[in-house]
Amino acid sequence: MEFAVSRDGTTLVTLHGGSDTTACDEAAEGLAASLETLEAEGTIADWAIDDSEVYEHPTGPFDPYTITVAFSVTVVIDAADADAATAIGADSIDAALEDADLDSVTYTSPATVAP
């Protein structure tokens, strides 16, 4: 049986931006590009960028911003039951985000499953 397994999380993106808004926009766009690539490869089925905010402001004129970007990711898993799908889906999401070279991924909720 097919199940959709989803997970919400955050990642840190470090970059140089002209302002808080510019840095947040660039961070969200960069994460979106990474997730679009994973979707095109068939690694994930769906994704969304929920929010971005400044995690750490630059301390000097040439220092970068660190931005927290919130996201959700969904994979489709073929499994015998919901419990197996949850475990396999969570592992699949972990592997996909690791392959995308995302920094400091923190999950903000446990994996959820829907038939």
The domain locations on the chain are 16-109
Q: Please tell me the predicted confidence (pLDDT) of residue 92.
A: 97
CA distance 105 to 97: 8
Render pLDDT for 53-105 as a digit per residue (tens, 0 to 9). 999 999 888 899 999 999 999 999 999 999 999 999 999 999 999 999 898 99
Distance, CA of 63 to CA of 1 (rounded, Å): 50
Residue type (1 letter), 71: F
Q: Of how many residues is the chain composed?
A: 115
What is the pLDDT at residue 50? 96
User: How does pLDDT run across 27-38, given as a tens digit for each residue?
Assistant: 999 999 999 999
Pick the closest to residue 38 from 83, 1, 71 (CA basis).
71
3-state secondary structure at position 54: strand
Whether residue 17 has pLDDT greater than 80:
no
- pTM equals 0.92
Mean pLDDT in the chain? 95
pLDDT for residue 53: 97
